[in-house]
Structure 1
Amino acid sequence: MPELPEVEVVRRGLVSWVRGRTIEAVDVLDPRSIRRHALGTEDFIGNLEGAVVADVVRRGKFLWMPLLDRAGLQGRQMNGSGDVPAVALMAHLGMSGQLLMQDRDVPDEKHLKVRFRLSRSDGMPEQLRFVDQRIFGGLFVTAMVPTDDGGPGGLAESPLALIAEEAAHIARDPLDPAFSFDLFFRRLRKRKTGLKRALLDQGLVSGIGNIYADEALWAAKLHYARPTDTLRRAEAERVLESARQVMLDALAAGGTSFDSLYVNVNGASGYFDRSLNAYGREGEPCKRCAAAGIHATIRREQFMNRSSHTCPVCQPRPRNGRW
């Protein structure tokens, strides 16, 4: 599955092409890609044609485009007189979903599922295409609802205190300016579970997947089985800052690995290939220990039907670690 930095690469690439443009026509070429829109194809198209894309927003790995009624915007600047989006186009990228900006004369991609024809804009491609080879992803329209804390719904160019209803259940992510460490730490201490399980709990903190959890724990010198109710504030700060930094590093690398007209998620940014310290390095030397002249190799263990990668020397298992 795509990780948070890959989805943020999509958001940043997409917003410069679609924000403020009208969706003039929608072609659904494969209804399976809008199966999450329960009211069907006609309702999906009816909600979108004539709507203006107000922004592109991300919280955790969730991505959506708030939509404004074109008729209500005539003669007024977008959002300039209190207009707020009632619905949003939600994009779930799955394992192979791609959002591509293309000119109309570019031949259709082999796995093209949905095409959006946008209003003309100088120098801008006219079509947004959703391509998905495995069809694990999809698009649907959802309501916009107020955020529970009164803050912005997610990372956006023009933040509003609204969030796509389908994303309202997840917590803020470490890259969100409105993320509250105090709230996170209070909730973390109340849990009686292992640290990595907590980091993967999207209701506690969103956007940290298996890869980034392993990398953050390695950077923070903490074991995945450390009980959360024993975690000191400084340790929690260290692991959250490590998660934030490793995702910023990935974003910096991933953001240069995609063509600006080919907004793509393929599950692995350029960062993965050259800068991982723990994940996927089973049997290889721990870089930190090696730098200190200590021989230690990364160990892989089964964890929640997945794997965890740790160094047994600088990330020792806690004596009371039960997870």
Structure 2
Amino acid sequence: MPELPEVEVVRRGLARWVRGRTITRAEVLDERSIRRHVLGAEDLRGNLEGATVVDAVRRGKFLWLPLSAGGNFRGDVAAAANAKNDGGAPRLALMAHLGMSGQLLIEDADAPDEKHLKVRLDLSPALDAEGRAMPAELRFVDQRIFGGMFLADLVPTADGHPGGLAETPLPLVPAEAAHIARDPLDPAFSFDDFYRRLRARRTGIKRALLDQGLISGVGNIYADEALWAAKLHFARPTDTLRRKEALALVEATRDVMNRALEAGGTSFDSLYVNVNGASGYFARSLNAYGREGLPCQRCAGLGLDTRIRRDSFMNRSSYTCPVCQRRPRNGRW
């Protein structure tokens, strides 16, 4: 499943190609991909057609497109009244969940349909910075159908800060994502709040990192990479973590995610692509994840022949160096 860097790569592409454009037509080719939109395909189409994409926003692994009112916009009269009272702020968003194999692709109208095309959105004409016509369609493609698209009401953020990372910061978040904690790349992320809540837990540090209600966007791959960089074992009890260690872990998480962003994300699956159809290449730079039996590169730099080990963890795997990430005697898994 895509992690934060992969979703951020997609968000940046959407912001470039879709922001400010109006959805002129919405076509649902497979209703299984909009199953989370309980009001069905007609309601989805009625709300999307004529609406303008305000921006592309991400919090953790959640991605959404705030929409301005248009067409048969949900609660049209109420939405118009609310917009008048709050400066025209959008009240509805199109959420996109990529799941295991979901792709959001920007395509020309005459491009052949992808084999697993599920939803097609026609966009109003627009020109790029060089004066060239932008592609006319946003397509949702999903082979395994674990992802999907649906509409969600936007609500004010609890802390008054922007709902997530975006070019146009708005203090709004989809109701379905309001429980998700801020991620390490979010300017509004509070280390003090994170550390206080982390110390209150009685669990292992990796299990805490994967808790999207504590810190969002971190999945199995980047958790292993950040723990390796911070020299912490995944079973280290959270309530024994010193402030300096927790800060080093957050900084390591930011660093590994930023490096992944520079490389376009991590792709172990040919199904993961960004909006232009290009896969990520950060997998080539991993230090721990998937390297069972290979030398620990940090230990190798010190002249030690230490091999990365793999342990079973939450029906998945964890990869650690047995020397520079020593297992705690009182570890919690």
Matches within 5 A, 1:44-193: 44-70=44-70, 82-122=87-127, 123-193=133-203
Secondary structure of 1:234's aligned partner: helix
Letter in 1 for 2:43: D
The structure 1 residue matched to 2:240, chosen from 223, 230, 240, is 230
Contact 2:221 2:289 in 1 (8 A): yes
How far apart are 1:47 and its partner, in Å? Answer: 1.1
4+ runs of 1 displaced by more than 4 Å?
Answer: 255-261
Secondary structure of 1:139's aligned partner: strand
Matches within 5 A, 1:201-216: 201-216=211-226
How far apart are 1:111 and its partner, in Å? Answer: 1.0
Q: What stretches of structure 2 of length at least 5 have no aligned partner? A: 77-82, 128-132
Residues 274-320 of structure 1: CA deviation (Å, up to 9, x unaligned): 21111101111111111101121111001111111111111101121
Q: Distance in 1 between matches of 2:291 and 2:252?
A: 19
User: In the alignment, which residue of structure 1 is the partner of 2:80?
Assistant: none
Residues 96-124 of structure 1: CA deviation (Å, up to 9, x unaligned): 11111111111211111111111111311
Report whether the alignment pairs 1:196 with 2:206.
yes
User: In the alignment, which residue of structure 2 is the partner of 1:75?
Assistant: none
Q: Distance in 2 between matches of 1:165 and 1:322?
A: 33
How far apart are 1:151 and its partner, in Å? Answer: 0.7
How far apart are 1:3 and its partner, in Å? Answer: 1.1
How far apart are 1:133 and its partner, in Å? Answer: 1.1
Q: What stretches of structure 1 of length at least 5 have no aligned partner? A: 73-77
Contact 2:10 2:274 in 1 (8 A): no
Q: Distance in 2 between matches of 1:199 and 1:297?
A: 24
Letter in 2 for 1:100: L
Contact 2:49 2:70 in 1 (8 A): no
TM-score between both structures, scaled by the size of structure 2:
0.90
Q: Distance in 2 between matches of 1:260 and 1:251?
A: 12
The structure 2 residue matched to 1:284, chosen from 279, 291, 294, is 294
Deviates more, 1:99-108 or 1:245-254: 99-108
Q: Distance in 1 between matches of 2:3 and 2:149?
A: 18
Residues 33-54 of structure 1: CA deviation (Å, up to 9, x unaligned): 1011001111111111110100
User: In the alignment, which residue of structure 2 is the partner of 1:301?
Assistant: 311
Return closer, same or farther for 1:255/1:147 CA change in 2, 3 Å cut-off: same
Secondary structure of 1:98's aligned partner: strand
Letter in 2 for 1:18: V
How far apart are 1:256 and its partner, in Å? Answer: 11
Return closer, same or farther for 1:280/1:260 CA change in 2, 3 Å cut-off: closer
Letter in 2 for 1:69: A
The structure 2 residue matched to 1:271, chosen from 275, 282, 285, is 282
Residues 241-295 of structure 1: CA deviation (Å, up to 9, x unaligned): 001100100010016999986256x6xx2011x2111110111111111110112
Deviates more, 1:255-264 or 1:313-322: 255-264
Secondary structure of 1:124's aligned partner: coil
User: In the alignment, which residue of structure 1 is the partner of 2:331?
Assistant: 321
Letter in 2 for 1:164: P
Letter in 2 for 1:113: K
How far apart are 1:25 and its partner, in Å? Answer: 0.8
Contact 1:14 1:263 in 2 (8 A): no
Contact 1:170 1:202 in 2 (8 A): yes
Q: Distance in 2 between matches of 1:47 and 1:27?
A: 12
Number of matched pairs: 313
Q: Distance in 2 between matches of 1:223 and 1:38?
A: 43
Q: Give the RMSD, CA atoms, in angstroms.
A: 2.0
The structure 2 residue matched to 1:241, chosen from 251, 275, 296, is 251
How far apart are 1:82 and its partner, in Å? Answer: 1.4
Q: Distance in 1 between matches of 2:155 and 2:266?
A: 34
Residues 160-204 of structure 1: CA deviation (Å, up to 9, x unaligned): 110011111110000101100000000000001110011001000
Contact 1:93 1:138 in 2 (8 A): yes
Residues 38-87 of structure 1: CA deviation (Å, up to 9, x unaligned): 01111111111110100000000000000001489xxxxx99x8111110
Secondary structure of 1:320's aligned partner: coil
User: In the alignment, which residue of structure 2 is the partner of 1:262?
Assistant: 276
How far apart are 1:322 and its partner, in Å? Answer: 2.8
